[in-house]
Structure 1
Amino acid sequence: MTYKALYRTWRPQNFKDIVGQQHITRTLQNALVNGRVAHAYLFCGPRGTGKTTTAKVLAKALNCLRGVDGEPCNECENCRAVNEGSAVDVVEIDAASNRGIDEIRDLREKVKFTPSMGRRKVYIIDEVHMLTDQAFNALLKTLEEPPAHVVFVLATTEAHKVPVTILSRCQRFDFRRIKPEEMVQRLKEVAAGSGIEVEEEALWLIAKAAEGGLRDALSILDQAAAFAAKTVSPADIHSILGTVQQEVLANMTQYLVQGKTAEALRLISEISDRGKDLRLFTKELTSYLRERLLESMEQRQPAANINEATLYNLLQILVQAEQEMKWSSQPSLVLELAVVKASRPELAGSLEALSSRVAELERKLSGLTVTGGRRPESPVATPVRTPLTKEAPPAAKPQPRIEKAVTDNAPGGQQPINQGDAAGAERVRQAWPALLKGLKEGGKMPLWTLLSKGSPPLEVNENTLTLYLADEFDFKTADKPEYRKYFEWLLAKHLGGQWEVRCVHGKKPAARGTTNPKDDPIYQEAVRIFGPELVTLEDDST
């Protein structure tokens, strides 16, 4: 006997057996019970969600001789004929191969004839969006005013390609993607009825891979049953689909977070050597990171010791890589570059990359404590800032360094100025009202408001002015490149020379102690992030 595929064997024969489309089946059943059946329906939605199946059940219910509550009995002559595919009153048309005007003209002639056995003649036109414009125009009048004994059911996966004139003459039903839990429940029923032994974890993997299409899920289960020796296991599903286990995705995530670039690249090489599709692996990894990010947001706590900002940055990089891999002749190289960028963001050289690393440094420093519960009083690393506006020529790019700040609370509402550079401090203090006036006249009102009312601590060191802002919103406001560049231009205008304005997110640090600065945990963390060649220590004792 010829084997019949699972999706054909287990095709629903009643409205109640259709999975995940209760909003549609209930409407159709009520219409049948109340005698309010429309002359034309449009079923649209993703593949494998039950459009053609629902159309056949509707055709049976319309012609069933012993139907109850809108459900076909599947026992009368008309129901058996539809189930066997021999019903002359139920006509299925594939619009992909019958898309011309001649086929529609022939249909228009045949709809005039009354049904042979049932009460209604049902035309099911699958993939209706494939019809030509001329064919749609020929169908239009018949669809608008068909004979009383005819019902049209148009099915499509691309409703946006159906002309509006056709859409306006149909009742539209949108089929949704089936939820994983509903799909797993149906797969359990099919497996039990077919004598297939399968682990529940394997069923969840199938449901995830099917992406809402039950027909795809049944096809995967059918293939897995033929592949497995006895019981279908998760490993069998991974082998069939070419996917990787959850442990591999977790390991890759940890490598990226911990900056283990070599291990991450080695893992990619192993996956490629096993014949896995790297595009599929990247898609799986983005889905895994998305799930971790959602879990972290819902639980309001870091997932697997990874904060939300890190997960967000990784997800951004890998989503972009997934898009680029579709069109690249070397997808493995695109993925490897993305892995390097994700695990070593400082190599990217962008302001965003440096900002993310500095934010990570500040997060780690906030948790450091010393004996007695006091936090270490140490200098703070400031990142490189590159001018982006054209209001003044760009200054030479400075190297990130560890700077020392001295607290000096100036009386009378004056801005606290570092006294290490007495001449520069005095000049800035005298020019401060003019600087604020220049900001206001230049239209930089957010920065003017922040500096005139917020009074953030300042530090002057030669021709470098550093702003310390504890509030994140204030820091982001003052750290905008156009604001910093304009403020540098004002300083040069009123004080002469070439100035640099830096913004530091955090409180102004106290003076450095007499201990070895290289033993300071902040210095060591800065060296790890930026490298020893980019971090220097300044001796402010003189």
Structure 2
Amino acid sequence: MSYQALYRVWRPQSFIDVVGQEHVTKTLQNALLQEKTSHAYLFSGPRGTGKTSAAKILAKAVNCERAPVNEPCNECLTCKGITDGSIQDVIEIDAASNNGVEEIRDIRDKVKYAPNIGKYKVYIVDEVHMLSIGAFNALLKTLEEPPKHVIFILATTEPHKIPLTIISRCQRFDFKRITAQAIIGRMKLIIDETGVECEDQALHVIARAAEGGMRDALSLLDQAISFSQDQVTVEDALTVTGAVSQGFLNKLAQAVMEKNAAAGLEYLEELLFQGKDPARFVEDFILYYRDMLLFKAAPKLEESLERVMLDEEFQMLAEKINPAELYELIEVLNKAQQEMRWTNHPRIFLEVAIVKLCQLERKGAPAASADLQPLLHKIEMLEQEISHLKSHGVSVQDEAQPVAQKKAQRSSRKGFQAPIGKISEILKQATKNDLMGIKSNWGEMLNRLVHNQMRSQAALLNEAEPVAASSNAFIIKFKYEIHCQMAMDNTRFLDTLSNTIFELLGKRMQMVGIPDEQWQKVREDFLQNQQDGDAGEERSNAEEPLIAEAKKLFGDDLVEIVD
């Protein structure tokens, strides 16, 4: 193929071209000039941040005919041969497909041979965390004391999977995510060189979608160039990345602020008609309000914004909304995002979330002037009447306060309330053997639920566990309150669960669910009551010898026991 992808054509050939990793390139350049290169390096970091590119540049620098240099010349035969892969002294190994002991033993046998042309033989092992434990053990001694002409460079995106014995034998360099501004600067350089027309805002959209990876950014840019006609526009970039346009988010935020649910649902319908993913849209909308919150807190930190661009409409919306409202908006959207993960119809939860956002009470919003004047007049008249009554010796009590407190307490009760009475009765009769009987059949019960076409209901029990059981009932503790409520409100699920337990244990048992937070309090209260009861029983038993001694001294007829 004559055409090559942008990320391949523009792969860095010198340390100065490695964007956003100055802490790594500066250290390596100093080591090259001082001829203090190590025998083994570990490059770790997210994908597309320059790990393999830096490894090849280092391999060229140590073998360059002009060494010692802080940059490879890319002109000598050695540098050109390493770049095009014709020199066998630099060996690139994909550990994902060569992860066995035999492949590593082959490397271990060949390292003793001197390089053909260059000064060093360099082994670049990509995705080294994919090696098996046996392969790591085979590499261990060679990595610690290789021949003087061998350098190992290990690259990985998951350093936590590498044994510490390997890490301790390497110089470790952590590559960080590249900032959006650095990615934009690199893309502008490429566009200027290639002569492609591209809007600046389109580059911002691509840089945000790349999430710190230069390779991802160049792949999206390549795709946007192919999609566009004469010029890469913002709409082209949004289409390629699958993101929602800033103007659309501004319009929806305006509808939420004006409490216009009809307009909000209309915009949502337009979005879904365009084929946008509801889950991706919710994430974009959360990031939109998150960026608005950060903008209000620190307007100058534009680099910290994840999703938005500071256009005039966004800034006007940010001025009209206060942080307390933003907290509520983010909380509603976050809850909707969690619920959408457990359903086959995410659109319904998305529509409900938009309606909820439009119906939230705005905190700190001033009352309308037309309604305010009559209200102030009534307050003034009431104050005059109260002062008149007090002047005549009449005491005025605020009787509305207890009622208001009671209503507030009643309205504050939300969520699932576990049946404390049933749970206490089960705990009184609970035994360890009954609980072990439930636990020993728990895994089989989950498998049967899956076979009975109740996979989603069985998923509710993945993070639940039985914590107490009696002969005819048992208690299940759920990690999340929403899972507990969904399970306890599903009659079909409870019947199927009861039948499954009957098949496994041969008896009918009632299931009672309780969220983790409520379980901790119920358990502590029950144990405290048990301790108080045991203490009382011990006191009564301690009195019996005294009574017996009194009867022995004075006789049964003269001793009167008063409780």
TM-score bin (small chain): 0.5 to 0.7
The letter of the residue matching 1:364 is P
Separation in 1 of the partners of 2:189 and 2:260? 45
The alpha carbon displacement at 1:281 in A equals 1.6
Q: Would the aligned equivalents of 2:14 and 2:57 in 1 still touch at CA under 8 Å?
A: yes
What's the secondary structure of 1:376's corresponding residue? helix
Task: Give me the whole-angstrom Cα distance separating, in 2, the residues matched to 1:198 and 1:53.
Answer: 27
Q: Which runs of 5+ in 1 are unaligned?
A: 346-356, 380-402, 412-416, 426-458, 468-474, 482-542
**Alpha-carbon displacement from aligned partner over 1:89-140 (angstroms, at most 9, x marks no partner):** 1111101101111111111111111111111111111111111111111111
Superposition deviation, residue 146 in structure 1:
1.5
Tell me, yes or no, if structure 1 residue 236 matches structure 2 residue 236. Answer: yes
Among 317, 336, 342, the alignment partner of 2:332 is 317
Q: Which moved more, 1:62-71 or 1:135-144?
A: 62-71
- What amino acid does structure 2 have at the position aligned with 1:212? G
SS in 1 for 2:330: helix
For residue 362 of structure 1, report the CA deviation from its aligned partner.
5.2
Any idea what the Cα deviations from partners look like across 1:392-422, whole Å, max 9, x if unmatched? xxxxxxxxxxx999866999xxxxx9945xx
In the alignment, is residue 12 of structure 1 matched against residue 27 of structure 2?
no
Residues in 2 aligned to 1:339 and 1:463: alpha-carbon distance in whole angstroms: 36
- In 1, Cα distance between the equivalents of 2:405 and 2:344? 47
Partner of 2:194: 194
What residue number does 1:340 align with?
A: 355
Q: Which secondary structure state, in structure 1, belongs to the residue aligned with residue 173 of structure 2?
A: strand
Which residue does 1:390 correspond to in 2?
Answer: none
Amino acid of the residue matched to residue 190 of structure 2?
V
User: Does 1:464 find its partner at 2:466?
Assistant: no
SS at match of 1:247: helix
CA contact (8 A) 2:13 2:57 kept: yes
Quote the offset at 1:87 in angstroms: 1.9
Classify the secondary structure of the residue corresponding to 2:399: strand
**Separation in 2, partners of 1:368, 1:207:** 49
- The answer for the alignment partner of 2:47 in structure 1 is 47
Report the alpha carbon displacement of residue 173 of structure 1 after superposing the two structures with TM: 1.0
Looking at structure 2, the residues matched to 409 and 106 of structure 1 have their Cα atoms a distance apart, in angstroms, of 102
Whether contact under 8 Å (1:405, 1:418) holds in the other structure is no
Residues 299 and 201 (structure 1), Cα distance of their counterparts in 2 relative to 1, 3 Å cut: closer
User: Bigger shift: 249-258 or 9-18?
Assistant: 249-258
Partner of 2:217: 217
| Aligned-partner Cα distance in 1 for 2:365–2:384 | 20
After TM superposition, the score normalised by the length of structure 1 is 0.67
- TM superposition shift of 1:279: 1.8
- Partners of 1:73 and 1:407 in 2: how far apart? 92
- The amino acid across from 1:319 in the alignment is N
Displacement after TM superposition at 1:375 (Å): 8.6
Q: For 1:298-326, what per-residue CA distance to the aligned partner results, in whole angstroms no more than 9, with x for missing partners?
A: 24998141111111211222233334434
Moved more, 317-326 or 227-236: 317-326
Write the distance in 1 (CA, Å) between the matches of 2:363 and 2:242: 38
Aligned to 1:105: 105
Contact 1:91-1:124 at 8 Å conserved across structures: yes
User: Which residue is 2:270 aligned to?
Assistant: 270
Higher helix residue share: 2
Aligned match for 1:306, one of 305, 308, 321: 321
Q: For 1:314-393, list aligned pairs within 5 A.
A: 314-345=329-360, 357=361, 360=362, 363-365=365-367, 376=376
Question: Is 1:84 aligned with 2:84?
Answer: yes
Find the aligned partners of 2:323 and 2:405 in 1 and give their Cα distance: 29
Please show how residues 369-518 of structure 1 align to structure 2 within 5 Å: 376=376, 419=395, 425=397, 459-461=398-400, 464=403
User: Is the alpha carbon distance of 1:240 and 1:142 closer, same or farther for their aligned partners in structure 2, counting shifts above 3 Å?
Assistant: same
What is the Cα deviation at residue 327 of structure 1?
4.5
Inter-partner Cα distance in structure 2 for 1:88 and 1:418 = 104
Q: Could you tell me the TM-score, scaled by structure 2's length? A: 0.64
1:183 aligned residue: 183
In structure 2, relative to structure 1, the CA distance for the partners of 1:314 and 1:464 (3 Å cut) is closer
Q: Distance in 2 between matches of 1:410 and 1:63?
A: 100
* Corresponding residue of 2:515: none
Question: Which deviates the most, 302-311 or 33-42?
Answer: 302-311
Shift of 1:209: 0.9
* One-letter code aligned to 2:185: Q
Matching residue of 1:126:
126
Say yes or no: does 1:23 pair with 2:23. yes
Please report how far the alpha carbon of residue 38 of structure 1 lies from its aligned counterpart in structure 2 after TM superposition: 1.2
Q: For 2:114 and 2:128, how far apart are their aligned partners in 1?
A: 24
- How far the C-alpha of 1:363 sits from its partner, in A, is 4.1
User: How has the CA–CA distance of structure 1 residues 80 and 309 changed in structure 2, closer, same or farther, with 3 Å as cutoff?
Assistant: same
2:158 corresponds in structure 1 to 158
**Amino acid corresponding to residue 218 of structure 1 in structure 2:** L
User: How far apart, in 2, do the equivalents of 1:267 and 1:137 lie?
Assistant: 58
Q: Matched residues in 2 for 1:261 and 1:199: separation?
A: 34
> Which residue of structure 2 aligns with residue 142 of structure 1?
142
Post-superposition offset of 1:291:
1.1
Give CA-to-partner distance per residue, 1:267-301, whole Å, 9 cap, x none. Answer: 21211111112222222212211111111112499
**Structure 2: 5+ residue stretches without partners:** 301-314, 414-563
Change (3 A) 1:26 1:463: closer
Task: Name the SS of the counterpart of 2:189 in structure 1.
Answer: helix
The structure-2 alpha-carbon separation of the partners of 1:407 and 1:317, relative to structure 1 and needing over 3 Å to count, comes to: same
Contact 1:418 1:460 in 2 (8 A): no
CA shift, 1:261, in A, is 2.0
CA drift of 1:328 comes to 3.0
Give the match for residue 281 of structure 2. 281
Over residues 3-50 of structure 1, what are the superposed CA-to-partner deviations in whole Å (9 max), with x where a residue is unaligned?
Answer: 011111011100011111111000000011111111111111111110
Measured after TM superposition, the shift of residue 341 of structure 1 is 2.6
Give how far 1:365 is off.
Answer: 4.2
Aligned to 1:532: none
* Aligned-partner SS, 2:42: strand
| Structure 1 SS opposite 2:298 | helix
Does the CA contact (< 8 Å) of 2:61 and 2:69 recur in 1? no
| 1:207 partnered with 2:207 | yes
- CA-to-partner distance for each residue in 1:159-215, whole Å, 9 max, x for gaps? 111111111111111111111111111101111111211111111111111111111
8 Å CA contact 1:89–1:115 kept in 2: the answer is yes
Given that 1:257 and 1:310 are in contact with CA atoms closer than 8 Å, whether structure 2 keeps it comes out as no
Letter of the structure 2 residue corresponding to residue 259 of structure 1: K
